[in-house]
């Protein structure tokens, strides 16, 4: 099977739909940490708020992964829209901590499931020669979502009510646009083919039925699940500790600026990395970005006492860290959502996300009770695990980028 390299109007439409979806995912994920400044709560409750997003992201992915394999990629994207409406209304009218948590839970459940579907679908709609580039750029829109959320808060920094309105109404405005756009895209041709259902190739012009001997002998299913879970856990936990909860725990006045700086620097660097993703070795990029994230986190750890008084050095290191960890994120999310057979891609991607998100929850919660030095040591250890997993994949894994078709591993043992 060889894929057509022709870019069509449908490709543009699918790219737009998926990019908006990943932007909303990060937008909502950031809200949970921004909301820590909306109410005065005891420290243990701040810790609860910090684990609330990954918990409901986990549940959303666990639910929607198998469902997208059963009912299709397109249909599963509609389910989250009604939850967006309920969660956004609750967010706007949240008058206490309980309503806020419930609203955030509904929103995170929606984006957790939707993001899982977007991750797997992004591989199935685009020609192999540009697949890596497009997937990286779609995932990179998460950074635009984080930047948008914090920008709305910084603009309305003096008013909690205006912050809630700005954040909630933005979601409500986007929902009808999403519904319209999603109604126009076709079902994934790979999913239709895997389910032995007819698809209109003339409309999408993606798959051409030709003989192809291109196959990849992947490591065992257990190995792929373990590698995907570990690299995802390292990113999710490390990113949350150094970007999202570092501010609320130790520098409350910098919380929004940390998220904003991370989002902007990651967005810009992600565009550059994305444009090169079809020519750079996926395995090498994962390894280099993981060791870079480890080194910069260790530098922040070693220099933290002096950085408090010399904040310009801290910001330089933080922006460098943002670029490296974003590259790691783009690569590990691309890898762990692609190396499965189509008929089970949603389910297996959900499994590795449950491992990574579930494993991050106790670490993030317990870290809230650590002094800043121990907190940063823990972050360095977490990135060490990511480096070890990336090195393992570099040594025993296979190259999955550089124009390799997503159909290349349809025939392996799954």
Closest CA relative to residue 281, chosen from 136, 385, 394: 394
Greater confidence, 345 or 409? Answer: 345
- Assess contact for 364 and 240: CB atoms under 8 A: yes
Q: Which element (helix H / strand E) includes 15?
A: helix 9-34
Q: Domains of the chain (ranges plus CATH)?
A: 2-195+212-409 (1.20.1250.20)
DSSP 183-223: HHSPPPHHHHHHTT----HHHH--EE---------PPPHHH
Pairwise CA distance, residues 405 & 206, whole Å: 12
Pairwise CA distance, residues 376 & 373, whole Å: 5
pLDDT given for residue 210 in this prediction: 38
pLDDT above 50 for 3: no
Pairwise CA distance, residues 281 & 258, whole Å: 31
Question: Mind listing the pLDDT tens digit for each residue in 17-63?
Answer: 999 999 998 888 877 767 766 766 666 666 677 778 888 999 999 99
Residue 216: pLDDT band by 50, 70, 90 thresholds? confident
What is each CA distance from 395 to 59, 281, 392, in whole angstroms? 32, 13, 5
Cβ atoms within 10 Å of 271's Cβ, excluding its own: 13
pTM of the model: 0.88
Closest CA relative to residue 132, chosen from 389, 407, 409, 400: 400
Pairwise CA distance, residues 410 & 414, whole Å: 9
Residue 1: pLDDT band by 50, 70, 90 thresholds? very low
Pairwise CA distance, residues 333 & 102, whole Å: 28
pLDDT given for residue 308 in this prediction: 65
Residue 272, Ramachandran bin (φ over 0: left; ψ between -120 and 50: alpha; else beta): alpha
Most confident residue range from 136-140, 148-152, 293-297, 410-414 = 136-140
Greater confidence, 290 or 93? Answer: 290
- Assess contact for 376 and 304: CB atoms under 8 A: yes
Pairwise CA distance, residues 53 & 30, whole Å: 9
> What letter does residue 3 receive in the DSSP assignment?
E
pLDDT above 60 for 127: yes
DSSP 311-367: HHHHHHHHHHHHHHHHHHHHHHHHHHTTSS-GGGHHHHHHHHHHHHHHHHHHHHHHH
Pairwise CA distance, residues 233 & 236, whole Å: 5
Bridge partners, residue 207, by sequence: 3
Bridge partners, residue 393, by sequence: none
pLDDT given for residue 294 in this prediction: 94
pLDDT given for residue 42 in this prediction: 64
Tokens 């491992």 -> residue: 355
Residue 292: strand, helix, or coil? helix
- Assess contact for 298 and 191: CB atoms under 8 A: no
Q: Tell me the average pLDDT across 254-259.
A: 77
pLDDT given for residue 149 in this prediction: 80
Give the ranges where 201-281 is alpha helix by DSSP (H): 201-204, 221-239, 246-250, 255-275
Query: CB within 8 A of 166, min separation 6: which ones?
Result: 152, 153, 155, 156
Q: Which element (helix H / strand E) includes 208?
A: strand 207-208
For CA atoms 388, 392, 393, 395, give the dihedral sign.
positive
pLDDT above 80 for 188: yes
pLDDT given for residue 191 in this prediction: 92
């Amino acid at each position: 099977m060889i894929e057509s390299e022709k870019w069509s109007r449908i490709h543009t439409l699918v790219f737009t739909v998926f990019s908006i979806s990943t932007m909303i995912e990060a937008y909502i994920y950031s809200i949970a940490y921004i909301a820590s400044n909306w109410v005065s709560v005891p420290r243990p409750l701040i810790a609860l708020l910090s684990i609330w997003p990954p918990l409901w992201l986990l549940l959303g992915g666990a639910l929607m992964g198998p469902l997208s394999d059963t009912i299709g990629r397109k249909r599963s994207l509609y389910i989250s829209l009604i939850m967006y409406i309920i969660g956004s209304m609750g967010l706007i009218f949240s008058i206490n901590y309980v309503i806020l948590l419930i609203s955030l839970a509904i929103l995170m459940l929606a984006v957790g499931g939707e993001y899982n579907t977007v991750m797997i679908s992004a591989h199935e709609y685009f020609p192999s020669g540009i697949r890596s580039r497009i997937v990286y750029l779609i995932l990179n829109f998460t950074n635009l979502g984080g930047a948008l959320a914090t920008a709305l808060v910084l603009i309305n920094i003096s008013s909690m009510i205006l912050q809630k309105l700005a954040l909630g109404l933005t979601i409500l405005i986007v929902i009808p646009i999403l519904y319209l756009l999603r109604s126009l895209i076709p079902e994934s041709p790979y999913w239709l083919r895997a389910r032995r259902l007819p698809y209109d190739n003339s409309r999408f012009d993606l798959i051409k039925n030709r003989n192809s001997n291109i196959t990849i002998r992947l490591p065992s299913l257990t190995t792929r699940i373990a590698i995907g879970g570990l690299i995802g856990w390292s990113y999710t936990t490390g990113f949350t500790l150094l970007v999202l909860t570092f501010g609320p725990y130790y520098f409350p006045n910098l919380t929004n600026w940390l998220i904003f700086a991370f989002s902007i620097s990651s967005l810009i660097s992600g565009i550059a990395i994305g444009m090169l993703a079809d020519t750079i070795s996926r395995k090498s990029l994962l390894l280099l970005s993981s060791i870079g994230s480890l080194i910069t986190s260790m530098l922040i750890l070693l220099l933290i006492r002096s950085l408090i008084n010399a904040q310009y050095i801290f910001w330089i290191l933080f922006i460098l860290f943002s670029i490296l960890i974003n590259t790691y994120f783009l690569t590990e999310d691309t890898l762990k959502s692609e190396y499965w057979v189509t008929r089970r891609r949603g389910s297996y991607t959900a499994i590795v996300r449950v491992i990574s998100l579930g494993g991050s929850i106790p670490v993030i919660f317990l870290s809230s009770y650590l002094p800043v030095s121990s907190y940063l040591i823990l972050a360095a250890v977490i990135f060490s695990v990511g480096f070890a997993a990336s090195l393992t994949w570099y040594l025993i894994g296979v190259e999955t980028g550089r124009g390799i078709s997503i159909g290349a591993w349809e025939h392996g043992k799954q």
